[in-house]
């Protein structure tokens, strides 16, 4: 859904990644703190000190966001939810869940854990800053602590904006879900609320701009746009999950794909497969069993004159568990796997490793679009009949 991920470290079994957007944000934060915020709040220090304070402030903010996300993840794990890890991106982090929470109560506590953690951490930082002031610590040190205290409270407030998929939106959804017992309806309204708040923030940005407050205008605008995009993104995901419910991979599978024998030379692979078919990736098999995958990239690395000597087996790549599904796998799960691995297809294998077929993301997505179009002309996708219909077809 967002840009590229860079994996940083693993802690307590959760892998922490940053979205590339976070690198730009980190620079923007250090810059804003060193040239704007700290010189204004504590005037009279040298520029070098401001840069050190700005850098420490940015690292402290990074720590605070990780702390916030970990509290979500730990509560989620306690509630028995599988977590994919934590990704930091513009305006905070996302604790990635691979499934919906089991009940409204679980979602409520999971969502509110983050803001509570931020408030507690914020109070802690403020207390340390206050203590420092009392004890006569250097001004620069106290100011960084006080800034971190303030920013954690702000983080809690921002995340409590009632728009899905922010924490406040999840809290709202869990309450609506509890009231009506319908998670889809609750999600829709929690997302609409987020979209509306996003729109209000963009309007606020326009007013701020007209009033000459350019920095505030940029921030309001960015947050507003982010909220609207996030709401839209999770709406599409929800629709996709609902539309593909009960559809297994078998429906989209291309059986008997063009498989390459592991023992043929690369020259034959180039002539008989790459030139003949338009595929990006080919499965490599040995008497029906999936051994690996091979594509243009691997063939290109072998010099032309050596291609008749080298066999496909020597250049093929390993197929990870995440790139395999069975015919019973849910189509939505398959799409998520492809998303996570940034692949446009996955291989379908039997339980004993035999290659059965290939599924392309494009085929699932075009089915999704077609069904959405059909349901819209049918009086909206929320009709209960469509749900049972899709379950029946799969059976």
Binding site for Zn ion (CB under 5 A): 114, 159, 167
Q: In the structure encoding, which two tokens stand for residue 114, read together? A: 């983050």
Residue 133: in which H helix or E strand, if any? helix 104-135
Minimum distance of Zn ion from residue 110's CB (angstroms): 9
When CB distances to Zn ion are compared, the closest residue is 114
Minimum distance of Zn ion from residue 92's CB (angstroms): 7
Q: In the structure encoding, which two tokens stand for residue 108, read together? A: 């409520």
Q: Is 84 exposed, middle or buried (0-12, 13-18, 19+ CB in 10 A)?
A: middle
**Which residues, other chains included, contact 220 with Cβ-Cβ below 8 Å and sequence gap of 6+?**
201, 202, 204, 205, 208
- Residues catalogued as catalytic: 69
Q: Quick one: 159 or 248, whose CB is closer to Zn ion? A: 159
Q: Quick one: 95 or 338, whose CB is closer to Zn ion? A: 95
303: left (phi over 0), alpha (psi -120 to 50) or beta: beta
Minimum distance of Zn ion from residue 222's CB (angstroms): 18
Q: Quick one: 67 or 199, whose CB is closer to Zn ion? A: 67
Contact in structure between 277 and 341 (CB atoms under 8 Å): no
Q: In the structure encoding, which two tokens stand for residue 49, read together? A: 């000190």
Minimum distance of Zn ion from residue 125's CB (angstroms): 18
Core vs surface per residue 206-239: b (16+ CB within 10 A) or e: eebeeeeeeeebebbbbbbebbbebbeebbebbb
- Distance between CA atoms of 334 and 248, rounded to whole angstroms? 9
Minimum distance of Zn ion from residue 94's CB (angstroms): 8
**DSSP letter, residue 35:** I
Q: Quick one: 116 or 216, whose CB is closer to Zn ion? A: 116
């Amino acid at each position: 859904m967002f840009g590229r991920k860079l994996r940083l470290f693993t802690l307590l079994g959760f892998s922490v990644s940053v979205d590339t957007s976070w690198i730009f944000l980190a620079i923007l934060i250090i810059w804003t703190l060193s040239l704007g915020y700290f010189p204004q709040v504590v005037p009279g220090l040298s520029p070098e000190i401001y840069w050190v304070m700005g850098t420490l402030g940015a690292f402290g903010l990074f720590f605070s966001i990780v702390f916030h996300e970990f509290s979500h993840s730990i509560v989620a794990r306690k509630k028995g939810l599988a977590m994919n890890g934590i990704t930091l991106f513009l305006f905070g982090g996302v604790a990635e869940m691979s499934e919906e929470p089991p009940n409204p109560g679980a979602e409520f506590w999971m969502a509110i854990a983050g803001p509570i953690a931020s408030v507690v951490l914020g109070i802690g930082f403020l207390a340390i800053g206050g203590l420092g002031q009392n004890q006569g610590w250097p001004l620069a040190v106290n100011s960084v602590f006080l800034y971190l205290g303030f920013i954690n409270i702000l983080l809690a407030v921002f995340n409590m904006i009632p728009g899905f998929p922010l924490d406040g939106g999840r809290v709202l959804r869990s309450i609506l879900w509890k009231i009506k017992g319908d998670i889809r309806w609750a999600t829709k309204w929690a997302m609409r609320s987020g979209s509306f708040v996003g729109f209000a923030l963009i309007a606020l940005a326009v007013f701020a701009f007209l009033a000459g407050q350019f920095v505030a205008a940029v921030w309001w605008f960015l947050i507003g746009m982010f909220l609207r995009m996030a709401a839209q993104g999770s709406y599409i995901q929800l629709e996709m999950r609902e539309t593909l419910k009960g559809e297994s991979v078998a429906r989209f599978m291309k059986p008997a794909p063009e498989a390459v024998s592991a023992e043929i030379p690369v020259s034959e692979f180039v002539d008989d497969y790459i030139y003949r078919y338009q595929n990006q990736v080919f499965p490599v098999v040995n008497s029906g069993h999936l051994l690996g995958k091979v594509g243009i990239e691997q063939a290109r690395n072998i010099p032309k004159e050596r291609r008749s000597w080298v066999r496909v087996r020597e250049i093929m790549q390993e197929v990870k568990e995440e790139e395999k599904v069975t015919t019973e796998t849910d189509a939505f799960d398959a799409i998520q796997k492809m998303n996570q691995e940034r692949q446009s297809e996955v291989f379908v294998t039997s339980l004993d490793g035999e290659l059965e077929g290939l599924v392309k993301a494009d085929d699932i997505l075009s089915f999704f679009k077609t069904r959405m179009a059909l349901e819209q002309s049918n009086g909206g996708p929320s009709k209960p009949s469509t749900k049972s219909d899709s379950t029946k077809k799969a059976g």
